[in-house]
Amino acid sequence: MQNILGQITLLVDDYDKAISYYTELLDFDLVEDTIISPKKRWVVIAPKSSNDQGCKLLLAKANTPDQKRAIGNQTGGRVFLFLYTNQIETLRQKLVDHKVEITKPLRSESYGKVFVFKDLYGNLWDVIQRN
């Protein structure tokens, strides 16, 4: 048996705003954008360099009050997503240039370099460059 984590839902307030943020700032690809109904779309994004087995993000527009309250805090304030890169300084500088909040500065750890930032909605991301 082979199991693969394929997608993680990320609650957003607006599909197009989220697509723009993640594709332009984090250089993700828009994998799918299918209209399901007048108010619902199936929107999937993924890092450009990921393969078909890499985990993708399903951007889900929050509709209920509970869902809207969870935007930006799906993990109760913990780091939610982990992005691996081979150009951590370049990515960090791009985020800084776009006034993205870096909540923990770039530092070296035994496994590599890491920093933490808040995305458009307040979700915390670890960016890691492994040794």
Determine the pLDDT at residue 51. Answer: 66
pLDDT digits (tens, 9 = 90+) for 10-69: 999 999 999 999 999 999 999 999 999 998 999 999 998 776 778 999 999 999 999 999
Q: How many domains does the chain have?
A: 2
Query: Do 8 and 30 lie in a common domain?
Result: yes
Query: Do 27 and 90 lie in a common domain?
Result: no
Lowest-pLDDT range of 46-50, 94-98, 122-126: 46-50
Residue 77 is classified by DSSP as T
pTM, 2 dp: 0.92
Q: Which domain covers residue 131, as residue numbers?
A: 72-131
Query: Do 82 and 113 lie in a common domain?
Result: yes
Contact (Cβ atoms closer than 8 angstroms) between residue 4 and residue 51: no
Determine the pLDDT at residue 3. Answer: 84
Task: Give the CA distances from residue 31 to residues 10, 108, 130, in Å, rounded to whole numbers and listed in that order.
Answer: 15, 33, 26
Query: Do 26 and 67 lie in a common domain?
Result: yes
